[in-house]
Amino acid sequence: MPYEIGKLNLEALLSPISAAEDALARLDERVARSEVGQGFSERADFFEAVCNMWVAGELVHLEDLVLHDAQMDVRAPSHELVIAHRIVRARRRAVRNDPGWAISRAGIMAFAGIAEQEDELPKKIERRGEGSYLRMDEHDALPPELAEFDEVLAETSWLVEAVPSGSTITRQPDLIVGELVIRDPDWDETERISKWLELVRKVEALPVTLAAAVLWDGWEQLEPLQRQHWLGQVLVSGYLRSRGKVRSHLLAFSVGLREMPRERRRARDRSTRLIAFLDAMRAAAIAGMKDIDRLTLAKHQLERRAVGKRSNSSLPAAIELILSRPIVSAHMLAKAAGITPRGALNLVSALGVREVTGRGRYRAWGIL
């Protein structure tokens, strides 16, 4: 059953809409003009992933996620940690592509790992006009060794994406032994995604923040995906970016959603839920501006300690990494700066970064 927008209680929604619009505009301007905007955006991916899992009822430690992203795990990653890292990678993928790609059918299918029908895929167009005479040089072809690698990766990609190699049909109900997941045969993900995309077209006439709140409520009600329900927060943030409300980064929507009580997020009255989602956007924007203030102050303090150092010093690389990650370890600093772990410890001592672990082993530092 499609999600019906119906009649909205605009009298109750007007004030939250205005507050959310103002907060998001201020945050977008701050990030675009701030000298720590890039570092803030990268840090937001980790905070968003942790808060996204928290809203879903799962606990993921921030330090484990950062180390897993750097491929420096201190233990075997848990299932929840792997999902959180998928959220981080999904946000990075959304930022790399065009603003409207994330909420398009192709983008959602790519995020979910669903193979589309062959007739839905873009057809190859024969090149005509200028440049039509060009042909691929035989030197441009892959060597046989690399071609074999591509064949192996293509044949084993279903282990990662749960889609058979070369398949041109949507995913069928099956049992994935590695993930111990049984799919519901009556759960038509393609149809549900189509209904949500139809809702995207219907909310174009609404204010941006209200439209994003309606889309999130529709995602909660329709539940398009069985196993990637976390994708909804990424798509809502991508929608704000596609409408031009937040251009400089991808909003950490779950950071604000975590501040909303469950009774408001899961209320039976739709107006109460929409107000909670609008308040969540405002809370996320306020938290983002506070984080920018902390990072700006920390950057000035760290750069002051690097004044007078030699031109080939590794301190600038260390400062850039510290500002772009919630926490860093000695091995992360050593890899980023191209030095030894012992040299990384000397950099940390020179910068005076706060230690966040308080342990003798597996020490980490950061700006929280």
Dump pLDDT digits (tens) for 269-297. Answer: 999 999 999 999 999 999 999 999 999 99
Pair 286, 1: CB distance under 8 Å: no
- The partner residues of 366 in beta bridges, in order of sequence, read 327
* Strand pairing class (327-329; 364-366): antiparallel
Decide if pLDDT at 64 tops 60: yes
Nearest to 206 by CA among 101, 102, 280, 278: 278
- The first and second tokens of residue 166, run together, are 């070369």
Decide if pLDDT at 130 tops 90: no
- Calculate mean pLDDT across residues 157-177: 46
- Calculate mean pLDDT across residues 130-154: 54
pLDDT at position 308, please?
75
Element (H, E) at 328: strand 327-329
DSSP letters spanning 25-91? HHHHHHHHH-TTHHHHHHHHHHHHHHHHHHHTT----HHHHHHHHTT--SSPPPHHHHHHHHHHHHH
Question: What is the tens place of the pLDDT at every residue in 228-254?
Answer: 889 999 999 999 999 999 999 999 999
Question: What is the tens place of the pLDDT at every residue in 79-103?
Answer: 999 999 999 999 999 999 999 899 9
- Calculate mean pLDDT across residues 329-356: 87
Distances (CA, A) of 175 to 8, 110, 185, 265, 303: 42, 21, 11, 32, 54
pLDDT at position 286, please?
96
pLDDT at position 179, please?
43
pLDDT at position 181, please?
52
* Strand pairing class (175-176; 327-329): unpaired
- Calculate mean pLDDT across residues 253-269: 92
* Percent of the chain with pLDDT strictly greater than 90: 47
Domain 306-366, architecture per CATH: Orthogonal Bundle (1.10)
- The first and second tokens of residue 89, run together, are 């990678």
Q: Where are the domains of the chain?
A: 10-117+186-291, 306-366
**Residue 49 pLDDT class (50, 70, 90 cuts):** very high
Looking at per-residue pLDDT, the higher value among 135 and 249 belongs to 249
Looking at per-residue pLDDT, the higher value among 246 and 189 belongs to 246
pLDDT at position 60, please?
93
| Average pLDDT value for the chain | 82
Looking at per-residue pLDDT, the higher value among 25 and 126 belongs to 25
pLDDT at position 148, please?
62
Decide if pLDDT at 123 tops 50: no
CATH number for the segment(s) 10-117+186-291: 1.10.3290
What pTM was computed for the model? 0.79
- Calculate mean pLDDT across residues 119-144: 46
Rounded distance, CA 199 to CA 220, Å?
13
Decide if pLDDT at 211 tops 70: yes
pLDDT at position 183, please?
61
pLDDT at position 173, please?
42
